[in-house]
């Protein structure tokens, strides 16, 4: 049963903090204390705050990610997580290359939509808004899978 969810992007300042904030907000309302959600980056500069645009867009949804600080993914994170959700296939390949024990629990956040979520870093706010909409849609699909499928495991996710 998935209880520990790790969301990963490149720098851990745009996409993964937005997804983490959304997961914490939604799962916290649906199933308090059942899920623990964290985010990391594969090229993160530890300690960096989230992008101002990401903070602003989530604040509009009454979700505060301003206290988040970027962290580089580590072997401890891989062992901790039951499910690792990445933004791009490249992230999935890199994680499985660095941490072979992660194979079988790394999926794209856009898995159910069969999509990748591109990096909005240094792009206009409109691009961030589009990315946030993709992240929201993908988070909603995963929330449904995790909360309605009581036996959420690899075989169910592969569908």
What values do phi and psi take at 140, rounded to 5?
-60, -40
Residues 68, 49: Cα–Cα separation, whole Å: 6
β-bridge partners, 41: 9, 72
Which residues are marked as active site? 9, 15, 119
């Amino acid at each position: 049963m998935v209880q520990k969810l790790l969301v990963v992007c490149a720098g851990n300042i745009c996409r993964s903090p937005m997804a983490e904030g959304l997961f914490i907000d939604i799962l916290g309302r649906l199933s308090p204390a059942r899920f623990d959600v964290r985010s990391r980056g594969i090229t993160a500069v530890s300690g960096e705050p989230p992008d101002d645009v990401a903070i602003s867009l989530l604040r509009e949804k009454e979700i505060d990610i301003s206290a988040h600080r970027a962290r580089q993914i580590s072997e401890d994170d891989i062992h901790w997580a039951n499910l690792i959700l990445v933004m791009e296939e490249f992230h999935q390949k890199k994680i499985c290359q660095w941490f072979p024990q992660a194979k079988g629990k790394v999926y794209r956040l856009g898995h159910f939509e069969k999509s990748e979520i591109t990096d909005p870093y240094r792009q206009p706010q409109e691009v961030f808004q589009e990315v946030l909409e993709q992240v929201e849609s993908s988070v909603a699909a995963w929330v449904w899978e995790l909360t309605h499928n009581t036996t959420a495991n690899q075989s169910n996710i592969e569908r």
